[in-house]
A = this chain, B = another copy of it.
Amino acid sequence: MLTFKKPEVEQFFKVFNIEDFTLSPDETQLVYSTNLTGFYNVWAMDLPNQYPYPLTFNNQSCHSLKYDPNGTYILASFDQDGNELTQFYALPTRGGELEDMRVVEEHRHMFPKFSKDGKRIYYTSTKGNKTYLNCYCYDLETKEERLLIEGEDASTYLIDVSADEESFITLKQFANTHTLAYLIHNGEAIRLTPETEKQHTVDSALFTDSSSIYLVTDYGEDNGYLAHFDVVTKKFTKVSDNDMHLGNIYLDKKGNQLYLVSSKGVEDKLYTYCLEKKEWNEVSIPVSIIDKLVIGKSGCVYLLGKTASKPANIYKMEGGSWEALTNNRVPAVGDEDLSEPEILSYQSFDGLEVEALFFRAKEEVSNGHVVLWPHGGPQASERKFFRSYFQFLVNRGYSIFAPNFRGSSNYGLAYMKMVEGDWGHGPRLDNIHGLEWLIENGYADRDKIFLMGGSYGGYMALLLHGRHPEYFKAVIDIFGVSNLFSFIDSVPDHWKPVMKQWVGDPVEDKERLTIDSPITYLDTMTKPMLIIQGANDPRVVKQESDQIVEALHAKGREVEYLVLDDEGHGFSKKENEIKVFSAILNFLEKHV
């Protein structure tokens, strides 16, 4: 009798996200950061009741939430409008004004950890050591702070503290593909993985007790596996097979087991490893991608995760079955109008196998156009997580092609390393070969291709535009790097030690960096462009976008430039997100 209109574009952006969550020690209060009101704030629910109530009103993204072990307050980390200079505050459990805990405005505070009694916090900071970072211990009773570990050689992060606070685990990041973990005890640093010349990574490590460390590493292998380090004998032992692609590791004290996330390719799996019986079990999960687990004292598992068609939600596992605690979804849009991607695989120019996601517009709405989306990172990957703008573009008739070109994470260490020192050649050709494969196989029409990317993906969009303009009708760059020289110069100080291996050296690699910098190809960037930038972005600074916009304008090219004054490297405010993607849709529709 009644007919309803099709969902509007805006509906796709009226989706709430969840950034982080924590749980009171007695598991009666779940505290999380969500943008329910269009801005991020911290909210809570009194379990088993799932109705949310607000704790903060500061309208800022929250970078981490940790419940005090005594259950008396929440340690919450906020930056200001995306500047990533994260400060620590104490938030009353019933909400209200934030109290400063560790606040030094020009510095970034990271990875807070409580002592067992809650009287001290351990954390990593740029304070006193902008490049390599320092680890501190702050005493909440005496208000005294102690420098615990001084970073040197590489950015140094404190990742675990033993229960007796006598031992620590640090992680040194020489590169994204070269991270080493150390046991720090009595001023001595003992490496957790055996000596080798070969670069490898430690993804995570934790004390199961004072004499035992479990870690995930790819030492001697291509993929992450579980290993054990005996604190007494200093013996490193491989525990799991290397084909599990393990990543994050969580301790379930009650069950005397570890939960491990396996992140192979485009989706995650979850496993338990029983510390006593040494047995593995796969745990079925209600999502494709796990963002975070919290294991309660009760042994219940709380999981934050997503699928390609379902946004971030928190689930609770009790007695083997999952219950959704939140219920975020795309309003007004039915499941039948949301897209789950196909997984494609193709060979690149040199025979390398590349996996890709393809979100196909339904026949009845398709406009025949494909948007190439090179992901950011570049040592990250496009996976089965929820992106509002993918869903809304697909709903409006655009198909999306997102290849996990060489350098992407989750395909092994060697694959990830392939982008290091080669930002602009191999990955670029992987994108182009992907397009050719699509055209050959009937997925795309040569004359109907758009290009859009953010961060490294923005860089790739600019570079592909400059070097292969014939493929694209129009190009969208979201806070992309335009000039590798100025980029290397302008990243945060603690990124600098990894830049040489990751990108290159401005002097030694001058020729290659010139060849791989989009700004070299201004003459051939002839297609209409839309460039989007957050004014506070500390990773890809505004100057990266300013310079290419100026240069292209000087040549009389058609370039729209949208700057968000209160955003950094992402869009934290719903209104900005809607503004950006409305501009993107308008731009695409104009050039379709």
Contacts and interface: CB of A to CB of B under 8 A. Distances in A.
A325 interface: yes
A92 interface: yes
A141 interface: yes
A69 to B, nearest CB: 12
A52 B325 CA distance: 11
Contact of A94 (B45, B328, B334): B334
Given A51-B325, A51-B326, A54-B14, A331 B5 contact: no
Interface string A301-344: 00000000000000000000000111111011110000000000
A230 interface: no
A561 interface: no
Contact of A14 (B57, B141, B332): B57
B54 A96 contact: no
Interface in A32-76: 36-38, 45-46, 49-55, 57, 72-73
Contact of A38 (B37, B92, B99, B325): B37
A37 B3 CA distance: 28
Nearest to A96: B332
Contacts of A506: none
B331 A4 contact: no
A7 interface: yes
A23 to B, nearest CB: 16
A554 interface: no
B96 A2 contact: no
A95 B331 contact: yes
A94 B2 contact: no
A551 interface: no
A189 interface: no
A73 B14 CA distance: 20
A198 B38 CA distance: 56
A507 interface: no
A567 B73 CA distance: 39
A11 interface: yes
Contacts of A5: 96-97, 99
Contacts of A7: 96-97
B73 A327 contact: no
A106 interface: no
A1 B52 CA distance: 28
A2 B53 contact: no
Given A37-B36, A49-B327, A53-B331, A8 B95 contact: no
B1 A119 contact: yes
A334 B94 CA distance: 8
Interface in A194-253: none
B96 A11 contact: yes
A119 B2 CA distance: 11
A425 B106 CA distance: 66
A90 interface: yes
A329 B99 CA distance: 22
A50 B49 contact: yes
A123 B567 CA distance: 49
Contacts of A101: 2
Given A57-B10, A94-B333, A99 B4 contact: yes
Interface string A10-31: 1100100000000000000000
Contacts of A332: 55, 92, 94-97
A439 interface: no
A585 interface: no
A140 interface: yes
Contact of A36 (B36, B92, B328, B334): B36
A51 B53 contact: no
Nearest to A37: B37
A50 B50 contact: yes
A96 to B, nearest CB: 3
Given A1-B141, A5-B97, A51 B54 contact: no
A90 B327 CA distance: 23
A324 B4 contact: no
Given A54-B331, A57-B331, A96-B331, 19 more contacts: A2-B73, A2-B140, A3-B99, A4-B73, A4-B97, A5-B99, A8-B97, A45-B51, A49-B324, A50-B50, A51-B52, A51-B325, A52-B52, A53-B328, A55-B331, A55-B332, A94-B333, A94-B334, A95-B332
23 contacts: A2-B90, A4-B92, A4-B96, A4-B99, A10-B57, A11-B95, A14-B54, A45-B51, A49-B324, A49-B327, A50-B51, A51-B51, A51-B52, A51-B327, A51-B328, A52-B327, A53-B329, A57-B331, A94-B332, A95-B331, A95-B332, A96-B332, A96-B333
Closest 4 CB pairs of A and B: A96-B332, A51-B327, A50-B50, A95-B331
